[in-house]
Amino acid sequence: MITRLLLVWSLAAMMVSFAAAQSSTQQPPAAQPALTISQVLDRALSGTEWQFTGIADAMPEDKYSFVPTSGEFKGVRTFAEQVKHVAFLNYRLFSAILGEAPPADMGGENGPASLKTKAEIMKYLRDSFVLGHRAMASINAENLVAPIKGPFGPATRLALANLVSAHCGDHYGQLVVYLRMNGIIPPASRR
């Protein structure tokens, strides 16, 4: 019995010694450089973009005109109008961050009426995020909270960047309902 205890104790001591020797010969991981403000904002935008373009693309084209009719949905936008509205506001906010005029053919708050097909609407949405990545790249410590002219009055680049995420999140939630009412599980909810 004592021999077995000594054997177990000896093995345990050797394993601890081996582990200590291994850890002392390994180099610590190199420190990662700190992210810049624009990189942090751009990563956040990439997440918003992935989630929103994913849900917009998940709806079949023949359902882009879908609008809920049962329940408290009087006067809500169609699926297509929801997607175009998000892209429309993206263009306005990102253009303000850049200090540029938005594209000429913006239409009303539901986007250009000329965009009818899913492919046209998805291109409009994706292009709005391309502008967004350019806008995020322009934000730095010096201009982050400097006053600028926003589409709703005085603002900061940080406030407008945050508004994009909040706005996309609001409409994402609405589109989840639209998809589920059509028997479609949103991509971010699939396992």
CB atoms under 10 Å from CB of 4, counted, come to: 8
Nearest to 65 by CA among 127, 128, 121, 109: 121
Buried-state track 17-48, b at ≥16 Cβ within 10 A, e below 16: eeeeeeeeeeeeeeeeeeeebbeebbeebeeb
What number of residues does the chain have? 191
Residue 56 lies in a domain: yes
Residue 170 lies in a domain: yes
Q: Tens of pLDDT along 22-42?
A: 455 566 677 888 999 999 999
What would the mean pLDDT of 14-29 be, rounded to a whole number? Answer: 51
Residue 21 lies in a domain: no
Q: Tens of pLDDT along 40-85?
A: 999 999 999 999 999 999 999 999 999 998 888 888 999 999 999 9
pTM of the model: 0.82
Residue 7 lies in a domain: no
SS3 of residue 188 by DSSP: helix
- Kindly indicate the confidence band of residue 12, based on its pLDDT and cuts at 50, 70 and 90: very low
Count of domains forming the chain: 1
Range of the domain at 102: 37-189
Nearest to 115 by CA among 73, 65, 50: 65
pLDDT value at residue 27? 65
Residue 156 lies in a domain: yes
Domain CATH for 165: 1.20.120.450
Q: Is the pLDDT of residue 20 over 80?
A: no
Look at 5-9, 96-100, 169-173 and tell me which has the smallest mean pLDDT.
5-9
